[in-house]
Copies of this chain bind each other. A is one copy, B any other.
Amino acid sequence: MTTPIKAALLGASGYTGADLLRLGVRHPGIEFVYLTANTHAGKPMSSVFPHLGGVGLPDLITNEDVDFSKVDVVFCGLPHGTSQTLIAEIVGKNDHLRVIDMGADFRFRNPDHYQLAYGARHVAPELQAKAAYGLTEHNRDAIRDAKVIACPGCYPTATLLALLPLVRSGAMSTDDVIIDAKSGVSGAGRGLKQNTLMAEAGESVSPYAVGTHRHAPEIEQEISLVSGAPVAVNFTPHLIPMSRGELITAHVKLGNAQNADEVRAVLAQAYADEPFIRIADKGVIPSTAHVRGSNYCVLNVFEDRIPGRVIVIGVIDNLVKGSAGQAIQNFNLAFGFDEAAALEALPLFP
């Protein structure tokens, strides 16, 4: 057995941090030597997340107390806006370090677009230039060697896995792309908000951030890049009364494909060798329950009643393939492990 890769996790008290640990502590090649959560520093991990007790994790400390010279990789689960400065600093001082960021700070290839979406000037544009957009299946070459791997947002992950092969092949048009998305409440994080209280979010469905969600420009960035022209998309997320899971319903116009079968065939071919992407059998409808807790993404395509259109459905677990699982998949790629290491678990159903 080889020496494990030493890892720090910054932001261990949020759901994405917790899910990275849930998966990562069973990884044969990772040793977590530092876990940070500034407001919980000094506490054992089990006091913040009881389900992570008893597995030998180090106690929580502050970001300042990490000795980054002693780790090989930093997983970052900090909120957007807080990680740019920190990551730029630690990478600047520790040339050997690689960073896998689950936050939003390095997702925009153009720092100006970051500023437009997040309302603040990007403070590490040089490092941004060395960052790879971490949508594993579509960017392996860049991810493999990148200093910073910027894992996509959960919604962009599901959407781009569903649509990028169709945009690339021309099977779909990039006009009037409508992405009606549905997510469980864990996507809103562990912060205290009235709208994610069980009494409010349970037995209820509502859209949110209609027309203004920050994942829209991220989706547009990648679709535009592949299509070669600026694309605007409709992106309408809805809050669903469940903890985990994300479903996107993409209503799109056909491009050079003639019907749903041809569109489906493009996806099937694009993902034929992918371990985590499944194209459901014709007519079988994907459900978030069928990927719960796993790194899988299931896709399918259906005819629309309106001629010349199809409906593309995609499901992921927002915390796994949409965040922590994809981060580990990228880690595996970057550090030479089997891409599925620690991600083998099948979905938890029911």
A149 interface contact, C-beta 8 A: no
The residues of B that contact A290 with a CB separation of less than 8 Å are 50-51
A15–B350 touching, CB < 8 Å? yes
Q: Which residue of B has the minimal Cβ distance to A346? A: B22
Chain A window 217-240, contacts with chain B (Cβ cutoff 8 Å), 1 for yes, 0 for no? 000000000000000111110101
Give the Cβ gap from A207 to chain B, nearest Cβ, in Å.
6
The residues of B that contact A216 with a CB separation of less than 8 Å are 305
A204 interface contact, C-beta 8 A: yes
Give the Cβ gap from A243 to chain B, nearest Cβ, in Å.
5
CB < 8 Å neighbour of A251 from B247, B251, B278? B251
B311–A15 touching, CB < 8 Å? no
Given A176-B176, A198-B185, check contact A249 B55 (CB 8 Å).
Answer: no
A234–B251 touching, CB < 8 Å? yes
Give the Cβ gap from A189 to chain B, nearest Cβ, in Å.
9
The residues of B that contact A186 with a CB separation of less than 8 Å are 199, 350
A66 interface contact, C-beta 8 A: no
Contacts of A1-42 to chain B: CB distance below 8 A = 15, 18, 21-22, 25-26
Q: How many copies of this chain does one complex carry?
A: 4
The residues of B that contact A292 with a CB separation of less than 8 Å are 51, 203-204, 348
B180–A251 touching, CB < 8 Å? yes
Q: Which residue of B has the minimal Cβ distance to A304? A: B234
Q: Which residue of B has the minimal Cβ distance to A283? A: B210
Give the Cβ gap from A60 to chain B, nearest Cβ, in Å.
16
The residues of B that contact A240 with a CB separation of less than 8 Å are 205, 240-241
CB < 8 Å neighbour of A211 from B232, B293, B303? B303
**Quick one: which of A240, A280, A350 has the most chain B CB within 10 A?**
A350
A206 interface contact, C-beta 8 A: yes
A185–B199 touching, CB < 8 Å? yes
Q: Which residue of B has the minimal Cβ distance to A199? A: B350
A142 interface contact, C-beta 8 A: no
Contacts of A71-125 to chain B: CB distance below 8 A = none
Q: Which residue of B has the minimal Cβ distance to A294? A: B51
A208 interface contact, C-beta 8 A: yes
A196–B199 touching, CB < 8 Å? yes
Bound Cα distance from A204 to B347, whole angstroms: 13
A202 interface contact, C-beta 8 A: yes
Bound Cα distance from A160 to B231, whole angstroms: 31
**Quick one: which of A180, A204, A206 has the most chain B CB within 10 A?**
A204
Top 3 nearest A-B pairs (CB, nearest first) are A206-B287, A204-B289, A192-B192
23 contacts between A and B (CB under 8 A): A15-B199, A22-B347, A50-B290, A51-B290, A51-B294, A52-B346, A178-B306, A180-B249, A182-B205, A190-B197, A202-B241, A203-B244, A203-B245, A206-B286, A206-B288, A207-B247, A207-B311, A210-B313, A232-B305, A234-B309, A244-B348, A244-B350, A348-B348
Apart from A50-B290, A232-B306, what 20 extra A-B contacts exist at CB < 8 Å? Answer: A15-B350, A18-B349, A26-B346, A49-B349, A51-B294, A51-B347, A55-B346, A176-B176, A182-B182, A182-B205, A197-B197, A202-B241, A202-B242, A204-B287, A205-B240, A206-B287, A206-B315, A207-B311, A236-B311, A293-B293
